[in-house]
């Protein structure tokens, strides 16, 4: 069942609970990109909500999604593309981002690698994630209403 179909079956409250009770993490490399491009956490929360709400630019398969994030003062079309993976209602990981002006799309080879990375990340035990948070490999994104 697609995220879009799931959204249609849920009440607004159930949908809200799924989005805002999920843990979301930024990989170290993604966090560096987001800081450099001055992408605020609120924009990432909005991107996560877009994916859960079925408004992602593309479902790339393997729980990997591509979504548009607005560039400050430019809107979404001239902004960034963010790739993230998620396990609905549980956790999401922001994997990579790029400016549309610098990269039209990712290669098939990169997509295969991202899907494998998503599979690994989404299967991590909580204690492993806690260790990654401690060593700086991950940063938790506050997902608050």
Residues 98-115: pLDDT tens digits? 987 777 778 899 999 999
Task: Tell me which of 10-14, 22-26, 28-32, 107-111 is least confident.
Answer: 10-14
Q: With 90 as the cut, is the pLDDT of residue 10 above it?
A: no
* Contact call for residues 59 and 51 (beta carbons, < 8 A): no
Question: pLDDT digits over 52-100, tens only?
Answer: 888 777 899 999 999 988 877 665 566 899 999 998 878 999 999 998 7
pLDDT score of 82:
93
Output b/e per residue, 15-35; b: 16+ Cβ within 10 A: beebbeebebbbbeebbebbe
Q: With 60 as the cut, is the pLDDT of residue 16 above it?
A: no
CA distances in angstroms from 69 to 11, 36, 44, 76, 116, listed in the order given: 26, 14, 7, 5, 24
The C-alpha atoms of residue 42 and residue 19 are separated, in whole angstroms, by 13
Q: What is the pTM of this model?
A: 0.82
Q: What is the mean pLDDT of the chain?
A: 83
Backbone phi, psi, residue 38, to 5°: 55, 45
């Amino acid at each position: 069942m697609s995220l879009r179909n799931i959204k249609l079956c849920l009440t607004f409250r159930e949908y809200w609970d799924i989005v805002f009770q999920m843990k979301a993490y930024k990989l170290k490399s993604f966090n560096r990109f987001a800081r450099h491009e001055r992408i605020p956490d609120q924009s990432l929360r909005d991107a996560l909500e877009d994916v859960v709400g079925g408004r992602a630019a593309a479902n790339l398969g393997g729980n990997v999604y591509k979504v548009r994030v607005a560039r400050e003062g430019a809107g979404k079309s001239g902004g960034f593309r963010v790739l993230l993976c998620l396990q609905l209602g549980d956790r999401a990981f922001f994997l990579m981002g790029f400016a549309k002006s610098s990269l039209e799309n990712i290669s098939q080879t990169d997509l295969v690698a991202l899907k494998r990375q998503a599979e690994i990340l989404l299967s991590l035990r909580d204690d492993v994630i806690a260790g990654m948070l401690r060593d700086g490999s991950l940063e938790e994104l506050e997902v608050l209403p």
